[in-house]
Chains A and B, each alone.
Chain A
Amino acid sequence: MENTIQLEELFDAKLERGEFIEPKDWMPEKYRKTLIRQISQHAHSEVIGMQPEGNWITRAPSLRRKAVLLAKVQDEGGHGLYLYSACETLGISRDEVIQQLQSGKAKYSSIFNYPTLTWADMGAIGWLVDGAAIMNQVMLQRTSYGPYSRAMVRICKEESFHQRQGYEIMCVLAKGSPEQKAMAQDALNRWWWPTLMMFGPKDAESSNSAESIKWKIKRETNDELRQKFVDRTVPQAEHLGLTVPDKDLKWNAERNSYDFGEIDWEEFWNVVQGNGPCNKVRIENHVRAHEEGKWVREAAAAYAAKKAKAAQVQVA
């Protein structure tokens, strides 16, 4: 017991000095659990996030757009793998985290439970959803757990193309025919509020927030990040000539920030609890893809075993 207290003091001192925690370092059980939950949810979000955009790869309007979208979706798969790899350093197996996703025990970002109805959604997702994710991920580059931080550094390097390609799509549509502009506006209307929800509950209602800040897992609060996102994104919408669907949105010179309207928290919790438009289909697709890939995994394992055996015979 006394030992644990000593170890905890060492751990706190390390955080205080701004040092990173590495996989073999002693850490409080709650720190480990919080990280496993957060990193695996983050990984699941990257992977499930491939579906709404994957939906449009075969229908992209040009070969250039198709190549770009394919590369972006492939990146998201890569981000999932960096994060699963970081998560496994905390002592949980890949098998277990995938099981938690498929059984519904683990969550992923609710934004991916909304459908992608038009091509303009590819623009809105890159611009807004990746934009919001970047906000969060830039902060997480300084998270206290070493493997998580390193994965974030890699991810951030790759993300900026995601946002730029999305904004480029929006630019083309916003400057196109009236129908195209209407399509861009419609996409903004549908994605704006769910994007603001990505930052999570308000600080006052976020149960894990204080502890995560104390442990330097998070460096900024949900509300701080959300405000920063609004302040950066509104001028980008103005540049497109599109209207942000919030009648309460207005510049506050005193705060040097935008005031904005209240998020529909009922919708937020409803989607988190599994009742969003696409929750079911996202998990069904994941399970199906996993099951359909089973024979490939088995064949590869059998081939590896056979080769290992042959090598043994040769040595003998």
Chain B
Amino acid sequence: MSSVTDSQWPVWEVFVQTKSGMPHKHCGSVHAPDKEIALQNARDVYTRRSEGTNIWVVPANAITASSPEDIGPFFDPSNDKPYRHPTFYEIPEGVKYM
């Protein structure tokens, strides 16, 4: 039986914008030797039914992500600042457009 020892190429994460005005959304990854082929592979794999108006491909190893274990301390600073929300403030009744 053969063995697969040749390269499967680097991994690129794929982000697709589904409509103009919408944010790009992560939808999976592809393997490709360079950015041009990464784009073409992403088009073939993730937009076979015109699901996209624009595609970003990013080398997977260029992405830095926060780690799930730190979810508490990492996002903590924003939890005790309710004054960042409009409902924190009292406005007299009858005042409009605010």
Residues of A within 8 A of B (CB): 22, 24-26, 71, 74-75, 78, 81-82, 85-86, 88, 93-95, 98-99, 102-104, 147, 150-151, 154, 158, 283, 287, 290-291, 294, 297-298, 300-301, 303-304, 307-308
Known: A26-B69, A151-B28. A102 touches B4 (CB 8 A): yes
Known: A104-B1, A290-B2. A94 touches B30 (CB 8 A): no
Residues of B within 8 A of A (CB): 1-9, 11, 27-31, 33-34, 37, 44-45, 48-49, 65, 67-69
Contacts of B7 in A (CB 8 A): 297-298, 301
Give the residue of A26, A103, A304 whose beta carbon is less than 8 angstroms from that of B3. A103
Tell me the complex Cα distance, A93–B4, Å: 12
User: Could you tell me the dominant secondary structure of chain B's interface residues?
Assistant: loop
Number of A-B residue pairs having CB atoms within 8 Å of each other in the complex: 77
Tell me the complex Cα distance, A247–B34, Å: 58
Closest 10 CB pairs of A and B: A304-B33, A304-B34, A94-B8, A300-B33, A85-B28, A85-B29, A287-B2, A301-B33, A25-B68, A99-B4
Tell me the complex Cα distance, A86–B13, Å: 11
Whose C-beta in chain A lies nearest to the C-beta of B29?
A: A85
CB pair B48 A95 closer than 8 Å? no
Q: How many whole Å from B42's CB to the nearest CB in chain A? A: 10
Known: A24-B67, A104-B1, A291-B2. A85 touches B30 (CB 8 A): yes
Contacts of B65 in A (CB 8 A): 24
Whose C-beta in chain B lies nearest to the C-beta of A151?
A: B28
Contacts of B29 in A (CB 8 A): 85, 88
A and B contact pairs by CB, cutoff 8 A, 7 listed: A85-B28, A95-B5, A102-B4, A151-B28, A300-B34, A301-B33, A304-B37
Tell me the complex Cα distance, A296–B65, Å: 33
Interface centre among A71, A81, A82, A147 (most CB of B within 10 A): A81
Whose C-beta in chain B lies nearest to the C-beta of A98?
A: B4
CB pair A81 B68 closer than 8 Å? no
Whose C-beta in chain A lies nearest to the C-beta of B10?
A: A304
CB pair A103 B6 closer than 8 Å? no
CB pair A303 B27 closer than 8 Å? no
Known: A104-B1, A154-B27. A78 touches B33 (CB 8 A): no
